[in-house]
């Protein structure tokens, strides 16, 4: 799959060998996307180590969720994770989409989002959902440009002593 610029973008299924790269991107992406919106851990190194261990089983070939990574010039620069929705296995769900901050706006996110949608279509899903922080205007604009829209469902909760307002987006596949 080609990306913008002169260096081609490759999207492939992630393996357990990608766990540290996926965890690192998740931490970097979280720091960028959620600054001022969610609490941030003190230590990137500790958080990356914890996330690496959490990703290992999710990247196993038999796991029901699929994670795809974007590589450019041999470096993993983003990932998307999709699978069946937790309470409706006939509906697909986009669980995570993270990029290294320096590639935001370069088309990598759109390519990963489309790879996730293609996987859900291949599984026979006719619809898909995702959750996004209501206050995350940048992510909401990104998903709306990719054909997703707010379906009226909210999830208001308190985590780490702070209110969290998530809204569900959906799209036909």
What DSSP line would sit under 128-160, residue for residue? EEEEEETT-HHHHHHHHHTT-EEEEEEEEEEET
How do beta strands 88-99 and 9-13 pair? Answer: unpaired
The dihedral formed by the CA atoms of 148, 119, 128 and 30, expressed in degrees to the nearest 10: -60
pLDDT in tens, 110-149: 999 999 999 999 999 999 999 999 999 999 999 999 999 9
What pLDDT is recorded for position 157? 86
What pLDDT is recorded for position 161? 77
Ramachandran bin of 66, using left for φ above 0, alpha for ψ from -120 to 50, beta for the remaining angles: beta
What pLDDT is recorded for position 158? 86
pTM for this predicted structure: 0.90
With beta carbons less than 8 A apart as the criterion, state whether 11 and 70 touch.
Answer: yes
Domain layout of the chain by residue ranges: 9-172
What pLDDT is recorded for position 38? 63
What pLDDT is recorded for position 99? 96
What's the CATH architecture for 9-172?
A: 3-Layer(aba) Sandwich (3.40)
Low-confidence ranges of the chain (pLDDT < 50): 1-4
Please state, in angstroms and rounded to a whole number, the distance separating the CA atoms of residues 79 and 25: 8
């Amino acid at each position: 799959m080609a990306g913008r610029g002169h260096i081609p973008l490759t999207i492939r299924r992630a393996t357990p060998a990608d766990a540290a790269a996926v965890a690192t991107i998740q931490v970097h992406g979280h720091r960028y996307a959620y600054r001022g919106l969610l609490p941030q851990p003190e230590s990137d190194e500790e958080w990356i180590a914890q996330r690496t261990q959490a990703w290992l089983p999710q990247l196993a070939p038999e796991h029901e969720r699929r994670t795809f990574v974007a590589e450019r010039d041999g470096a993993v620069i983003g990932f998307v994770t999709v699978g069946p929705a937790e309470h409706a296995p006939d509906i697909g769900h986009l669980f995570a989409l993270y990029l290294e901050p320096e590639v935001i706006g370069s088309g990598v996110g759109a390519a990963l989002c489309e790879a996730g949608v293609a996987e859900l279509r291949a599984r026979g899903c006719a619809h898909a959902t995702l959750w996004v922080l209501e206050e995350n205007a940048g992510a909401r604009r990104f998903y709306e440009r990719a054909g997703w829209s707010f379906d009226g469902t909210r999830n208001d909760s308190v985590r780490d002593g702070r209110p969290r307002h998530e809204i569900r987006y959906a799209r036909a596949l």
